Amino acid sequence: MANVNLKINNIPVSVPEGTTILEAARLAHVTIPTLCYLKDVNCVGSCRMCLVEATGARGLVAACVYPVAEGMEVKTNTEKCKKSRKMTLELLLSKHKKECLACERAGNCELQRLSTEYNCDPQYFETDPNLDHPIDFSAPYVVRDRDKCINCTRCVAACNKQHVGAIGPIGRGYSAHIGSAFGMDLMASVCVGCGQCIVACPVGALRERTTVDDVWAAIADPSKKVVFFTAPSVRATLGEAFGLPVGTNVEGKMVAAIRRLGDVEVFNMDITADLTILEEANELIARIQNGGTLPMFTSCCPGWVKYVEQKHPEMIPHLSTCKSPQEMFGGLLKTYYCEKNGIDPKDLYVVSVIPCTAKKYECTRPEMNGEVDNAITTRELARMIKTAGIDFADLPDEKFDDPFATCSGGGTIFGATGGVMEAALRVAAKTLDGEFEVVDFPEVRGTAPIKEATYKVAGKEIRVAVASGLMNAEEIIKGVQDGSRRYDFIEIMACPGGCVNGGGQPTLPDSIRNTVNLKDLRAAALYTSDKENSIRLSSESPVIETIYKEYFGAPNSEKAHEVLHTHYHADKRI
């Protein structure tokens, strides 16, 4: 492909043909403001913030969609550009609920930042008197505030990219807004709770339904014993909320910070990631050896499970019966841990720290018996740490509390797409063939939408696939149903890139999201931790060995099924 030569603010730059002005500007180290644009999610040129002057064009053009041309000269910061952007912002502010002091996105809002940079007058245009729409609190995981929405459509694009389509544009002109079909509440829609709309939203129109006040109340209650446990990916993302580089592993500081919230214990959810692997790998082996339903799909992602229940109930028999690591830990704590320590389960308050808003919904499922009392996102934990006045960056590294501290590397990589598959393959291969020495399975690593591999173990071929993002999951399902894709075991994660890119992770500005590969850097922190761990197989964790010896007996035992397994059911929406 031929290169195109142009100038941006008099800076020469050469880019491949078909490159947009916005992309070319980055190569020239020129920043053009955007609101609706989000790399790999939305590129429609509708917000008009990226308007620039370009030779050969009539008037201002949207840099995010306008292609470069040979000899083009682009001006990004002329008075005409700045005046247009300022007017656009002031018009947006006239239809925006300006509650910045009380908004969860205060200080981390793209509209707020740009309005400050362009010295906007928030009252230049009269505020829309109809900004009194009810806030949608119907779902236990996402809150939608229409009066803060700026109609950028990034949430719509993220939802459509997930092949869900729970929200979309409604109406035209001045009355246009984002909502669910037929004006229904979010909980009544086909939303699966993945939260990708939240991390895509540049303002505070979408947020998780926070439950931190309940956690604070439990910590203050002398009749409650409070325990926290943290999901594998949280250690790779929490630091971003405190200005640390993307991909920094803050496991030790995270544990130290949670301890300083009050009289609590801090456990490692990687333990039940290991437990999930033992149960899931043995379930897979049993299905292969006994003619069970194949291929078997993983069931540790509640957004994916909800998607199957709503859109493909015929595939429910293919789901593993294993609970997610979150719910396994809840069950383990309310049974084994309470019995061992003489605690009444009703006096134990269990808090999970998770990268995912769908986990909030999972806690409310009747099948889970309320074993996790509260699930808070990485963002919510960060807010609790800040509220407590804890200087996160200066904290010492501390270790998780026993007896749930030591995990395998296989449990840690659960947070990245392909991690569940790799951890399960390690155990399944060792179980089927004691001489099998391969520990790393690089074919299932990385952020490719769909990954496939075939391994020969104990004389038998095991065909596997990994997909992240529900649009890619849909492709896998169709292939399985029409016979074009043949596998034994399939890992699915609802969020692109896996839990490291979950809907509960820190909300980062466009300047980072559009230029930094978040998924790769965050996952790299987990794989480094795995490599440095002396225990690589979940089956070799001394904690897991103790749990089976003292309580469950063996994987897939009757007791294990009672506490660690569940069932799923059809949930037809619209």
Percent of the chain exceeding pLDDT 90 equals: 91
pLDDT of residue 145 exceeding 80: yes
- Whether 458 shows a pLDDT value over 80: the answer reads no
- Which of 394, 443, 381 shows the shortest CA–CA distance to 417? 443
First to last CA, the chain: 46
Give me the mean pLDDT over the 189-210 stretch: 97
Average pLDDT (552-573) is 92
Per-residue pLDDT at 157 exceeds 80: yes
CA 468 – CA 451 distance, rounded (Å): 9
Q: Which of 352, 499, 529, 541 is catalytic?
A: 499
Query: What radius of gyration do the chain's Cα atoms show?
Result: 25
- Give DSSP secondary structure letters for 168-213: EEES-GGG-EEE-GGG--GGGTT-----HHHHH-SSSSEEE---HH
Per-residue pLDDT of 439-452, as tens digits, reads: 899 999 999 999 99
Place of tokens 């897991």: 544
Strand-pair category, 3-8 with 11-16: antiparallel
DSSP calls for 126-153: PPPTT--PPPB--SSSEEE-GGG-----
Examine the pLDDT at 437 and tell me if it is beyond 80: no
User: Which of these is catalytic: 36, 191, 197, 300?
Assistant: 300
Active-site option among 110, 208, 240, 280: 280
C-alpha distances in Å from residue 284, one per residue of 273, 481, 493: 16, 19, 18
**Residue 215 CB neighbours (<10 A):** 25
Residue 224 a catalytic site member: no
pLDDT tens column, 76-107: 999 999 999 999 999 999 999 999 999 999 99
Q: Would you call 174 exposed, middle or buried from its count of C-beta atoms within 10 A (0-12, 13-18, 19+)? A: exposed
Give the C-alpha separation, 5 to 14, whole Å: 4
Q: Cα-Cα-Cα-Cα dihedral of 561, 565, 570, 573, to 10°?
A: 160
Three-state DSSP state, 353: strand
Provide the pairing of β-strand 348-354 with 374-377. parallel
Q: Look at the alpha carbons of 115, 116, 119, 123 in this order and tell me if their dihedral is positive or negative.
A: positive
Conformational region of residue 204, where left means phi above 0, alpha means psi within -120 to 50, and beta covers everything else: alpha
For residue 436, is pLDDT > 90? no
- Token look-up 């940079």 returns 117
Res 573: pLDDT: 62
Report which of 350, 347, 357 is spatially closest to residue 330, judged by C-alpha positions: 350
Between CA 477 and CA 485 the distance in angstroms is 9
Q: Cα separation of 536 and 426, whole Å?
A: 8
Global confidence as pTM: 0.95
The catalytic residue among 110, 283, 422, 491 is: 283
84-114 as b/e, with b when 16 or more CB fall inside 10 Å? bbbebbbebbbbbbbebeebbbeebbbbbbb
The residue annotated as part of the active site, out of 240, 279, 362, 422, is 362
Residue 345 scores a pLDDT above 60: yes
Check residue 147 and give its pLDDT.
96
Whether 320 is a known active-site residue: answer: yes
Task: Indicate whether 135 pLDDT > 90.
Answer: yes
Q: Residue 101: its pLDDT value, please?
A: 92
What would the two tokens of residue 128 be? 């829309």
Q: 148, 161, 334, 359: which is the annotated catalytic residue? A: 359
Residue ranges of domains in the chain, CATH in brackets: 3-77 (3.10.20.740), 102-208 (3.30.70.20), 223-564 (3.40.50.1780)
Does the pLDDT value for residue 33 go beyond 60? Answer: yes
Instruction: Give the CA distances from residue 148 to residues 478, 483, 491, in Å, rounded to whole numbers and listed in that order.
Output: 38, 46, 37
Predicted confidence (pLDDT) at residue 435 exceeds the cutoff of 80: no
> In which element (H, E) is residue 264 found?
strand 264-268
- Report the candidate in 267, 272, 307 with the shortest Cα–Cα distance to residue 477: 307
Cα gap 423→530, rounded to integer Å: 10
Bridging pattern class, strands 460-468 and 489-493: parallel
Q: What percent of the chain has pLDDT over 70?
A: 99
Residue 499 annotated to the active site: yes
362 catalytic per annotation = yes
Per-residue pLDDT for 404 more than 60? yes
Q: Pick the catalytic residue: 189, 320, 408, 541? A: 320
> Could you give the 3-state DSSP secondary structure of residue 551?
helix
| Cis previous bond, 403, omega within 30 | yes
Q: How many C-alpha atoms does 405 have within 13 Å on its Cβ side?
A: 10
Q: Could you tell me if 186 and 194 are in contact, meaning their C-beta atoms sit under 8 angstroms apart?
A: no
- Which residues lie closer than 8 Å to 443 by C-beta, 6 or more apart? 451, 452, 453
Given a contact cutoff of 8 angstroms between Cβ atoms, the answer to whether 374 and 224 are in contact is no
Residue 304 in this model has a pLDDT that exceeds 70: yes
Catalogue the E-assigned strands of 355-445: 374-377
Alpha carbon distance 30, 25 (integer Å): 5
Averaged pLDDT of the chain: 95
For the record, the structure tokens of 119 come out as 């010295």
